[in-house]
Structure 1
């Protein structure tokens, strides 16, 4: 990828120096993963930072005998940076929800870039604060009814990773259990509520291309305000 494309695609590198972007291009490794493959296992965190060029990734953890999805990421986002910064073990895995293309940079080189570029270091702090706000917001959602939580989760995914199309805003047709984990509701409620939204014409699911279209996102915004 060219330096200009990296600066435009990844929010972390907004304001980074040309030297930082050129170094990233020279050292980053391109990696492709097929759907359902493990991108990072529990023992591999802290070795590199990964940047999503295209595709969808979930971060999951094991609670008892059940796997729980903690986060869903897509184009423009990165993961693994926290493990590089605090060097603590992780009881999580990163799994490809679709075919994924990533750029990776080793932990040592990533830390060197942060130390050499004050703008990148500041931007890293900004994004960490933003993630903390997102976590706090998700925590606040738990006291709301399931319908509200699912709609707000769909809106969040659309705002952060959605692609505008003639049908509406397109996101991945995320497996119901993963979507339920993210919204903090059960899988049965998720399936029932998605069917209701489809019946009302506010979303459309295309199994052939694994896509979910928010066909009336304005109505979803309006409904979220009412609940």
Structure 2
């Protein structure tokens, strides 16, 4: 079972910050704490939802199997995010896989308990709706960028990852360190080819806007304002 303090859990997941101490204690009491190695599938497509998964540390990718037998990455999630709620809320089989990109610590809350919390805590329910609306807005923005130049689309992906999960380098708010997401996954998110994404990352590195630190498994964004400006250069 979980061995995480309530205060730390609420810091990681503001979704639960408004819940009562009693609800939080009972939720954590029935939650399970698991660690997954890189490459391990946490959830498998077509499996029925039996839990919601909260990422304590590490990064995961959400992917779907195409008709041609290849996987396409739909989302990258980092610490403080969660997944698996859709299969519980609409009571249907999962439509995607979730795979650990690096060693990941995940807290799983049983489906019945999670639904009970949403029913008993209106503020948690409301915040869940906010998160789902934000995810829908992000999906819509990616669709709107579909016909934009590849550099704009890739910059948009990097900026969104930096905004959601990035940690400033040396306290500099104009920088952000994120996990060194594989190029193929970044390409899928941007809707461009892997080779094209690799070339664009090389160009961003040459401009000193980003840097790959392989030892730390980090993609370091060294000039976030410039990258944000590039992401906003949509062509009508």
TM-score normalised over the length of structure 1: 0.95
Mapped partners of 1:35, 1:79: distance in 2: 17
- Report the counterpart of residue 35 of structure 1 in structure 2: 38
Deviations 1:96-136 (A, max 9, x none): 00110011011111111111112212222222222211111
What count of residue pairs does the alignment treat as equivalent? 227
Are the aligned partners of 2:211 and 2:221 in contact in 1 as well (CA < 8 Å)? yes
Mapped partners of 1:189, 1:106: distance in 2: 41
Q: Does 2:151 correspond to 1:147?
A: yes
Structure 2: stretches of 5+ with no match in the other structure? none
Mapped partners of 2:41, 2:229: distance in 1: 38
- Report the counterpart of residue 105 of structure 1 in structure 2: 109
- Report the counterpart of residue 209 of structure 2 in structure 1: 202
Q: 1:91: how far off?
A: 3.3
Q: Does 2:145 correspond to 1:138?
A: no
Q: 1:222: how far off?
A: 2.5
Mapped partners of 2:232, 2:103: distance in 1: 35
Structure 1 outlier segments of 4+, above 4 Å: none
Q: Which residues in structure 2 correspond to 1:165-184 (within 5 Å)?
A: 165-166=169-170, 168-184=175-191
Q: 1:144: how far off?
A: 1.0
- Report the counterpart of residue 164 of structure 1 in structure 2: 168
Which has the larger share of helix? 1
Indicate the SS of the match to 1:201: coil
| Cα root mean square deviation, aligned | 1.4
Deviations 1:56-102 (A, max 9, x none): 01011111221100111011100001111101122321000011001
Mapped partners of 1:109, 1:226: distance in 2: 45
Q: 1:45: how far off?
A: 4.1
TM-score normalised over the length of structure 2: 0.91
